[in-house]
Chain A
């Protein structure tokens, strides 16, 4: 039980590595940096394997219960001071623990995050050997591992959110790793800002949940949601689910927030492999799966998830058909595959979605690492138009990437085939025939996937060499630290699918069985929904295993069809080859090459970097509007206040001068002056005259009294 009870050590290992890089990284030599940072991930992987191995028997002994380990109360004091009222007026405590949760869902994420993360760390030792900022790179990578492990091991929404923001931060830091390149720092900003939009939704969803359920804790919320107190289609739960999905759209690059992911390819290739293909971008899927009990209660939200997923899948795949940058093709491929995953979640096939996350982590990480190996060999060249004929020169890279391509294209027997086929089957098998449209979209996407992936393979590894002579001279296979991870990932790309071999192919779907404790009650709710929809008059298609085989055959057919098309068009690609789409329909080619002009549209509508006629909309438009508001209204008010004060002052001065001083002060003075003037004349200053008047007066008095 050591690994299980000490599960908290797993995220702290890479945190230690990141802290060491932060404080001492500059002073450490490259081998020391590699030893610390790769060492922490290897240890984390070992502990993760140990924890999962101990969890499985523990789960059996506890009837499929999740394992929870609460370290301490993180938010809220536990003394009841932070209480609030939930929607029905009952007080609840605002509280989140620093707690860890291990159940089959987080166990799967834990295994592939630490496993793939470890391989990519090893790969980076070779790939980053000649780059500056070596310790910085590994510090960020370890910080990312810490955040991602916090995200998947946290037992409540705030913990998940902390990890969520942490991986967002690391994504930003690593996309902008070559920060002296303006395009890289712009891409980093774009990723960060677009993710913030999603995070706003996530936060609102999270607080809706805590208001409605009175708890942040996954187990509590899930338990309440499954308790039957809440009706299917509850509007608040639907809103919460949709808000959470907005967050997932940001992090997992779904329409309409996917725009940051292609630009994120500015980061070093191992970053693209780890963060933007295998792990971080699946956080949205993880979060939706974690909230599956809510989504099941919100069928409308589920429909939105399914539609957004299917649209994203076909949309991104079509862009991927014509991109020339090897990493951009893979970026659009990632978006498209994430669309598949959300399609699976939306149709209620949570286990199938998780299965695809799992297999995708291996083959997409492998594709990116292979692409990194190609770029390494090509002295930094990323444009496939300047590659070709590399198969013999870098055989290990070629063969491992070839297996990954087989896996993603859905060639039977490889990992992607099983997971993708499961998703397509589940979306067809959904009771309403409207879902057949989603199946068709997924099916077309499968064809496109095969086409663009084999296009990538043929343009890169076959055809005529189209690179500069200088570059051609330098082509070399990557060092062992890079090829060994490729080989290991190739092994998983081939065989990981057999973990979830479906019943129809004679397997036992062990992957689905493992996840059953997490998703099983959903299956019941979804099954209960079905008769209700039948009652509403919706037709239910009869599904037999015959249908399943037919669909399987169709998707295999388009996979081989896509391969065949790529083989036909790109096998002999030479300098100046013409894209078949450009030859057939130039406008369509331009549209796809320019990614449907979505970035430009966003520039018009949201960022305001471009003017729509004379008007500027979006953020910069808002900025201009507020600037004008400031300039004219606020400053106008300020100046108006100043002007009116001055006018009032003038008025007051005039009042003071003429009314107060003139009338009230000088007035009496003037009056007394005028009145006193005749009196003043009596005082003429000649003393003898005064004396004469005195004598005259005296004589007058005497005379008066004498003759009275």
Chain B
């Protein structure tokens, strides 16, 4: 059994990050995009936690912050989404182009 090293964690985290990024860029549904952003954040959390094995507990503390932040972000993002849906009756990202010039 190969011992699980920090590298493994990093690979998993990188994989999660890439998955999240691809999800953000490719999916049309805003809910899925929000979930993908959660993936990216959790990839970061994984990194923080992994590195805390080497460098002390600071990383775990940061991970808690990020989780808090993610919760807040999900709340705000879903709020915006509901408001948007009320106006446009859609949650498709390619139909949201109100921010152009």
Contact = CB atoms under 8 A, between A and B. Distances in A.
Contact of B99 (A680, A687, A692): A687
Contacts, number: 30
A683 B98 CA distance: 10
Nearest to B21: A695
Interface stretch (B3-11, B48-56, B63-71, B89-97): B89-97
B96 A692 contact: no
B25 A680 contact: no
A692 B25 contact: yes
Range of interface residues on chain A?
10 to 19
B46 interface: no
Contact of B100 (A684, A688, A692, A695): A684
Interface residues of B, number: 13
Interface string B74-101: 0000000000000000000110111111
A253 to B, nearest CB: 102
Nearest to B99: A685
B24 interface: yes
Interface in A577-600: none
A231 interface: no
Nearest to B94: A686
Contact of A688 (B24, B98, B101): B24
A691 interface: yes
Contacts of B33: 688
B24 A686 contact: no
B99 A691 contact: no
Nearest to A690: B99
A688 B99 contact: no
Contacts of A686: 93-94, 96-97
B32 to A, nearest CB: 11
Nearest to B93: A688
Nearest to B95: A686
A688 B25 contact: yes
Given A691-B25, A692-B25, A695-B21, A685 B98 contact: yes
A340 B26 CA distance: 136
Contacts of B101: 680, 683, 685
A684 B97 contact: yes
Nearest to A681: B101
A680 B101 CA distance: 6
A684 B98 CA distance: 9
A687 B100 contact: no
A208 to B, nearest CB: 93
A695 B26 CA distance: 12
Interface in A661-708: 680, 683-688, 691-692, 695
Contacts of A685: 96-101
Contacts of B93: 686-688
A695 B25 CA distance: 9
Contacts of A683: 99-101
Interface of B: 21, 24-26, 33, 93-94, 96-101
Interface of A: 680, 683-688, 691-692, 695
Given A680-B101, A688-B93, A691-B24, 12 more contacts: A683-B99, A683-B101, A684-B97, A685-B96, A685-B99, A685-B101, A686-B93, A686-B94, A686-B96, A687-B99, A688-B26, A692-B25
The 3 closest A-B pairs by CB, nearest first: A685-B100, A685-B97, A683-B101
